[in-house]
Amino acid sequence: MTFPRFTELVESLPATVPFVGPETQERARGRPFDARLGANESVFGPSPRAVAAMQEAAAEAWKYGDSTSHDLRHALAAHHGITPEHVIVGEGIDGLLGYLVRMLVAPGDAVVTSAGAYPTFNYHVAGYGGALHKVAYRNDREDPEALAARAAEVDAKLLYLSNPDNPMGTWHGPETILALLDALPGGCLLVLDEAYVDFAPAGTAPAIDPDDPRVIRMRTFSKGYGLAGARVGYALAAPALIAAFEKIRNHFGMTRMAQAGALAALRDQDWLAHVIAETAAGRDGIARIARENGLSTLPSATNFVAVDCGRDGAFARRVLEGLVARGVFVRMPGVAPLDRCIRVTAGRAQDLAHLARALPEALAAAEEAPAEG
Amino acid sequence: MTFPRFTELVESLPATVPFVGPETQERARGRPFDARLGANESVFGPSPRAVAAMQEAAAEAWKYGDSTSHDLRHALAAHHGITPEHVIVGEGIDGLLGYLVRMLVAPGDAVVTSAGAYPTFNYHVAGYGGALHKVAYRNDREDPEALAARAAEVDAKLLYLSNPDNPMGTWHGPETILALLDALPGGCLLVLDEAYVDFAPAGTAPAIDPDDPRVIRMRTFSKGYGLAGARVGYALAAPALIAAFEKIRNHFGMTRMAQAGALAALRDQDWLAHVIAETAAGRDGIARIARENGLSTLPSATNFVAVDCGRDGAFARRVLEGLVARGVFVRMPGVAPLDRCIRVTAGRAQDLAHLARALPEALAAAEEAPAEG
């Protein structure tokens, strides 16, 4: 008998990590990155009001956070024109995806996503024993029709779609999402990950009846609001689904600083508008640097840009490694043909100067390297 | 077909909440509590250095926290004289208990705890479908021999014991814990919850070989270190068990402020010593107030005191409600005969003044109230 007696499921899981953090890479390379453009964080920072609110809350850190995130949840409801019963606040979208998968996915249950989409969702599905079915991207976009068709084929309980998409930055208009909703097979819930929707063209987020039971929308303070390190996500769905989180969630899981910071960030929409403008400028800067190096970029409705390195995944991997070696933290998609690209987060002028310095050298080194395999 | 298609297990769970938070109670009563003595928080606050570290980290909140909590984990290893591979940092003991139960408990698996012990552990066990077997306290202490015997009877995968105990504040010496380890049936892991051990007499925490596979110890920054609102717990166990958390944990679940605050708190052992001394004085103050009202208290090795209201649970419940109505937030054990007590967190002079004011009135009101049922 092995000991401790893990469940069969846990015994079968690999000790995988969805992402290696930049701090881990910095320790391995022995020095910090010059530019941190790999995790789609907002280098423009959170609202100064959010920082001040967190600093004030820090002095009260001896108190547990409010288990219902009452004030934040009510403010979010008002912001979205819905009721607090349509909103659940959680420990980042990662935390909420974990709860959602746990609620719906028993071992063997079918789940559909796109090949190359968010690894942490896949991690949760695997962690609860789900059978993950992957659909190819089409023209660098997730393929709603093919996803719905696959969901019907495999009787999926969940269909994951990010709009705008990570890691490619592409997006669908609201009519396509609404059509997907109508194309969903019975019994399948759409997980619409809108982490990046703040950066998308106005109107990208479709108008969906808040009581529509077919969909749960995931939002976050980690991207536009610049609070990745505070771990605040929220989900919007029909009250019956929102209420079910109460059965399993970690009721006292939110930190007091996160609750205060997110509330202040939500109230500072001017800062969000500032970040969106800076982010657009940062995307343009990445595209310009790419062009100067003979590379093209994909249009993006997010805070990052997929830079097409023009060859295969092995080449792009060498470019990425060259950038990392030169102090520029970036990441890349994990599957072909998406992996011909590297993914660069929109940065400030000083961040992009490092990219502009390092990219020609990284490309030259990637050209010189012997092809592997 | 119901929709969404929840798992059978989740469908069967009640939407229970282990604890109703004080903010929820404050909203219901329409005004804040005068004294917050119900959640065993440290009213003496965190180290000013921890506050400063969190405030500094707040400005960097746009960055995800380090997914490995490297610096904190290494500092904890040095503090305990073990290796970082013996330590996992997580989102409070609550979060770590959830992970642990998930790793070991499949539907129907047996788990043993004491009747009246930590409700959040029970919540997790129920949440994963475990069969919870409860053993009575003996003389207001958890009963290690009976717990081990029950674990053998039901072939338990997990045995939960808190030492010092919550909610009674009582404790066992190290030799009793070591004897329990040796009495554990094969295949049973001891979850030794030492959340309150910082307040216990020196030597209460037993010397256990860090590689001993039979036990996992839970520690927290929520109590002595005064960081309940930052959500930082950690577990100490043999490396094979610690490594298994990597399979399922939320790798980016820790906030950057929490990591910085806990590290600074750990480095300020003088503050911890100050809090322990203040807490002892607070316990004495509670005992004195109880005595002045004709009530006895239990000896405590924690930051709270169980005040014996001298009659049954219904009476103690009325006393508690009387205190709450008079602005003093306290809690009480949930099962007989423990529920003859109310549980009061050690407070400052100003907190205890509110208790001293409210307790005689609450007792008088409880005497007058008609016995229910």
**pLDDT value for B373:** 42
* B319 CA: distance to closest CA in chain A (Å): 24
Q: By CA distance, what is B20's nearest residue in A?
A: A67
Looking at residue B15, its pLDDT comes to 80
| Among the partner residues B54, B68, B189, nearest to A24 by beta-carbon distance | B68
Tell whether A247 is covered by a domain: yes
**Does residue A348 sit within a domain?**
yes
User: Higher confidence at residue B87 or residue A1?
Assistant: B87
pLDDT by residue (tens digit) across A280-315?
Answer: 999 999 999 999 999 999 999 999 999 999 999 999
Q: Are residues B87 and B31 in the same domain?
A: no
- Report the gap between the CA of A104 and the closest CA in chain B (Å): 4
- Determine whether B363 is exposed, middle or buried from the number of CB atoms within 10 Å of its CB (0-12, 13-18, 19+): buried
What is the spatial distance between Cα B94 and Cα B229, in angstroms, rounded to a whole number? Answer: 13
Q: How far is CA B4 from CA A100, A104, B30, in A?
A: 11, 8, 36
Mean pLDDT of B90-107: 98
The last residue of a domain, from among A249, A267, A285: A267
- Whether the CB-CB separation of A196 and A303 falls below 8 Å is answered with yes
User: Closest to A51 (Cβ–Cβ): which among B59, B106, B241?
Assistant: B59
Q: Which of B103, B250, B255 sits opposite A258 (nearest CB)?
A: B255
How far apart are alpha carbons B23 and B276 in whole angstroms? 26
Tell me, yes or no, whether B12 lies in a domain.
no
Task: Please tell me the predicted confidence (pLDDT) of residue A372.
Answer: 52
Pair A161, A147: CB distance under 8 Å: yes
- From A218, A210, A152, A216, select the one nearest A185 (Cα to Cα): A152
Checking if the pLDDT of A230 tops 50, the result is: yes
Share of chain A above pLDDT 90, in %: 96
Whether pLDDT at A7 is above 50: yes
- Interface contact flag, B247 A10, Cβ < 8 Å: yes
Residue of B nearest to A243 (CA): B15
Select the residue of B15, B16, B261 nearest A243 (Cβ to Cβ).
B15
Q: B243 and B308: one domain?
A: no
In Å, how far is B17's CA from the nearest CA of chain A?
A: 7
What does the alpha-carbon distance between residue A230 and residue A260 come to, in Å, rounded to a whole number? 10
Q: Domain check: are A212 and A341 in the same one?
A: no
B213 plus B251 within the same structural domain: yes
Does the beta-carbon distance from B213 to A3 stay under 8 Å? Answer: yes
B99 within 8 A of B287, measured Cβ to Cβ:
no
Written in H, E and C, the secondary structure of chain A is CCCCCCCHHHHHCCCCCCCCCHHHHHHHHCCCCCEECCCCCCCCCCCHHHHHHHHHHHCCCCCCCCCCCHHHHHHHHHHHCCCHHHEEEECHHHHHHHHHHHHHCCCCCEEEEECCCCHHHHHHHHHCCCEEEEECCECCECCHHHHHHHHHHHCCCEEEEECCCCCCCCCCCHHHHHHHHHHCCCCCEEEEECCCHHHCCCCCCCCCCCCCCCEEEEEECCCCCCCHHHCCEEEECCHHHHHHHHHCCCCCCCCHHHHHHHHHHHHCHHHHHHHHHHHHHHHHHHHHHHHHCCCEECCCCCCEEEEECCCCHHHHHHHHHHHHHCCEECECCCCCCHHHEEEEECCCHHHHHHHHHHHHHHHHHHHHCCCCC
Distance from CA of B139 to the nearest CA of A (A): 31
pLDDT at B57: 98
For residue B218, the model assigns a pLDDT of 98
Distance CA B139, CA B134 (A): 16
Q: Is A353 inside any structural domain?
A: yes
Report the alpha-carbon angle A322-A326-A332, nearest 5.
45
Locate the chain B residue with the closest alpha carbon to A7: B104
Mean pLDDT over each residue of chain B, to the nearest integer? 97
Number of residues that this document lists for chain A: 373
What are the structure tokens assigned to B99, written together? 């992970």
CA dist B368 → B188, B206, B295, B362 (Å)? 49, 47, 17, 10
CB contact under 8 A, B256 and A19: no
CB contact under 8 A, A94 and B250: yes
Q: Mind listing the pLDDT tens digit for each residue in A323-368? A: 999 999 999 999 999 999 999 999 999 999 999 999 999 999 999 9
What is the least distance, in Å, from the CA of B373 to any CA of chain A?
30
Q: How big is chain B, counted in residues?
A: 373
Give the dihedral sign, CA B115/B119/B124/B127.
positive
Lowest mean pLDDT among A174-178, B298-302, B368-372: B368-372
Where residue A126 falls (left for φ over 0; alpha for ψ -120 to 50; beta otherwise) is: alpha
Q: Helices A269-292 and A48-58, interaxial angle, to 10°?
A: 120
Looking at A99-103, A227-231, A368-372, which range is the least confident one?
A368-372
Measured at the CA of A43, the angle between CA A281 and CA B262, to 5 degrees, comes to: 170
CA angle B19–B24–B25, rounded 5-degree value: 90
The pLDDT score that the predictor gives to residue B16 is 80
Please count the other Cβ atoms lying within 10 Å of the Cβ belonging to residue B108: 8
Quote the percentage of chain A above a pLDDT of 70.
99
**What CATH number corresponds to the domain at position B120?**
3.40.640.10
Q: CB B58 to CB A54 under 8 A?
A: yes
Q: What is the pLDDT of residues B187-207, one digit of tens each?
A: 999 999 999 999 999 999 999
Q: Does B329 lie in the same domain as B189?
A: no
Selected residue of B2, B5, B9, B85 to mutate for chain A interface (largest A Cβ count, 10 A) = B5
- What the block records as the tokens of A85 is 């019963």
Identify the domain boundary among A251, A267, A283. A267
> What residues of chain A lie within 8 A of the CB of B243, using their CB?
15
Q: If you count residue pairs, one on A and one on B, with CB atoms under 8 Å apart, how many are there?
A: 274
How far, in Å, CA of A204 to CA of A188, rounded? 23
Mind listing the pLDDT tens digit for each residue in A240-262? 999 999 999 999 999 999 999 99
CA–CA separation, A7 vs B108, rounded Å? Answer: 11
CATH number reported for the structural domain that contains residue B314 in this entry: 3.90.1150.10
Q: Do A103 and B23 touch (CB under 8 A)?
A: no
Q: Which residue of B has its CA nearest to A215?
A: B4
Does one domain contain both B59 and B86?
yes
Stretch A200-220: mean pLDDT: 98
CB contact under 8 A, B255 and A255: yes
Residue B167 falls inside a structural domain: yes
Q: Which pLDDT tens digit goes with each residue over B244-268?
A: 999 999 999 999 999 999 999 999 9
Are B103 and A248 a contacting pair at CB < 8 A?
Answer: no
pLDDT of B183 above 70: yes
In angstroms, rounded to a whole number, what is the distance separating the alpha carbons of residues B146 and B130? 20
pLDDT tier, A77 (very low <50, low <70, confident <90, very high otherwise)? very high
* SS3 assignment for chain B: CCCCCCCHHHHHCCCCCCCCCHHHHHHHHCCCCCEECCCCCCCCCCCHHHHHHHHHHHCCCCCCCCCCCHHHHHHHHHHHCCCHHHEEEECHHHHHHHHHHHHHCCCCCEEEEECCCCHHHHHHHHHCCCEEEEECCECCECCHHHHHHHHHHHCCCEEEEECCCCCCCCCCCHHHHHHHHHHCCCCCEEEEECCCHHHCCCCCCCCCCCCCCCEEEEEECCCCCCCHHHCCEEEECCHHHHHHHHHCCCCCCCCHHHHHHHHHHHHCHHHHHHHHHHHHHHHHHHHHHHHHCCCEECCCCCCEEEEECCCCHHHHHHHHHHHHHCCEECECCCCCCHHHEEEEECCCHHHHHHHHHHHHHHHHHHHHCCCCC
Q: With both helix axes pointing from N to C terminus, report the angle between A256-267 and B48-58 in degrees, rounded to the nearest 10.
A: 40
- Give the gap in angstroms from C-alpha A14 to the nearest C-alpha of chain B: 6
Q: How far is CA B325 from the centre of its chain?
A: 25
Span B118-143, average pLDDT: 98
| B228 closest CB neighbour out of A63, A222, A229 | A63
Per the CB < 8 Å rule, is B64 touching A21?
Answer: yes
With beta carbons under 8 A apart, name residues in chain B contacting A18: 251
B129-140 burial code (b ≥16 CB/10 A, e <16): bbebbebebeeb
B69, B161: one domain: yes
A15 confidence band (pLDDT: 50, 70, 90): confident
Domain's final residue, options A267, A295, A312: A267
If asked whether residues A26 and A60 sit together in one domain, one would say: no
Shortest CA gap A214–chain B (Å): 8
Closest CA of chain A from B5, distance in Å: 6
**Looking at residue A236, what is its pLDDT?**
98
A105-109, A110-114, A366-370: which range is least confident on average? A366-370
Cβ distance of B229 and A59 shorter than 8 Å: no
Quick one: tokens of B231? 């959500």
Mean pLDDT of A212-234: 98
CA distance A372 to B246: 31
In this structure, are residues B119 and B133 in contact, taking their beta carbons and an 8 Å threshold? no
Q: How far is CA A247 from CA A69, A118, A129, A251, B37, in A?
A: 16, 26, 20, 9, 27
Shared domain for B219 and B324, answered yes or no, is no
Out of A55, A231, A251, closest to residue B58 by CB: A55
- Say yes or no: B225 and B303 in one domain: no
Q: Is the pLDDT of residue A174 over 60?
A: yes
Q: How many domains are there within chain B?
A: 2
Rounded-to-integer distance, Cα B40 and Cα B22, Å: 12
pLDDT of B1: 62
Measure the CA–CA gap between B211 and B82, rounded to whole angstroms: 9
Q: Are A282 and A348 in contact (CB under 8 A)?
A: yes
Indicate whether A373 belongs to any domain: no
The Cα–Cα gap between A168 and A137 comes to 10
How many other CB atoms are found less than 10 A from the CB of residue A159?
29
Report yes or no on B295 lying in a domain. yes
Domain that holds residue A345: 19-45+270-368
**Closest by Cβ to B229, choosing from A27, A65, A102:** A65
Residues B95-121 have a mean pLDDT of 98
A176 and A35 belong to one structural domain:
no
One domain, residues A240 and A282 = no
Residue A373 pLDDT: 42
- Nearest residue on chain A to B155, alpha-carbon basis: A5
Q: What is the ipTM of this complex?
A: 0.97
- Listed residue (B364, B305, B17, B25) closest to B164, CA to CA: B305
B121 within some domain: yes
Average pLDDT score over residue span B169-174 = 98
